Chains A and B, each alone.
Chain A
Amino acid sequence: DAGVIQSPRHEVTEMGQEVTLRCKPISGHDYLFWYRQTMMRGLELLIYFNNNVPIDDSGMPEDRFSAKMPNASFSTLKIQPSEPRDSAVYFCASSLGPAGLSYEQYFGPGTRLTVT
């Protein structure tokens, strides 16, 4: 079975440009999560969706970040305009059910973003 799919795997862009990251969750998973990981801050939850509806976006750093999930098999994370401090690895993860019922999360391979 295919796991969580993310694209692109690597993105290098200049400051001020728009960046769009893409994610396809595991089929049948109702939850989708976007994380950001840096050496300094570790793994940070940005936003998560349940049945395509954003539930908690309190981790989104600022208005330059936005996320959508137009259907059960696709989500995007957009940064506009990008800044050098956005450089990080962005992970998408999905799970079959809520954390409180012991459903595990499965991660995609990540997108390594470099903003120059």
Chain B
Amino acid sequence: RKEVEQDPGPFNVPEGATVAFNCTYSNSASQSFFWYRQDCRKEPKLLMSVYSSGNEDGRFTAQLNRASQYISLLIRDSKLSDSATYLCVVGYGQNFVFGPGTRLSVLP
């Protein structure tokens, strides 16, 4: 079993739709959680950290369920510019572990 798993997609959604991504991790000692975004042929960029109580940044909401070892990302009112691959990242000790990513295409 991989340490961090994500549905690879692709998710094809119309503009304005709400879309949710899920991520599961296997290491119960994981301490920190992030969502990164990667555009085609670009580097991964931090989208948001994920806090235990859940957090929101504009149209983006992240949730963490430590008991189920599950992280989610919700994008509301999706824009064409949201089209990218979304990477779930888990940290423990000095290690960052990246999931394989979920590809999102927002269609006009």
Contacts and interface: CB of A to CB of B under 8 A. Distances in A.
Interface of A: 31, 33, 42-43, 45, 48, 50, 55-56, 91, 95, 98-110
Summarize B's interface: helix, strand, loop or mixed: strand
Interface residues on B, range: 20 to 34
A60 B42 CA distance: 23
A48 to B, nearest CB: 7
A101 B32 contact: yes
B43 interface: yes
Contact of A98 (B89, B93, B100): B93
Contacts, number: 60
Summarize A's interface: helix, strand, loop or mixed: strand
A55 B32 contact: no
Interface string B22-34: 0000000001101
B98 A43 contact: yes
Interface in B86-103: 87, 89, 91-98, 100-101
B16 interface: no
Given A43-B87, A56-B95, 20 more contacts: A33-B96, A42-B98, A43-B98, A45-B97, A50-B94, A56-B94, A91-B43, A95-B96, A98-B93, A99-B31, A99-B94, A100-B93, A102-B31, A102-B32, A102-B49, A103-B32, A105-B46, A105-B89, A109-B43, A110-B43
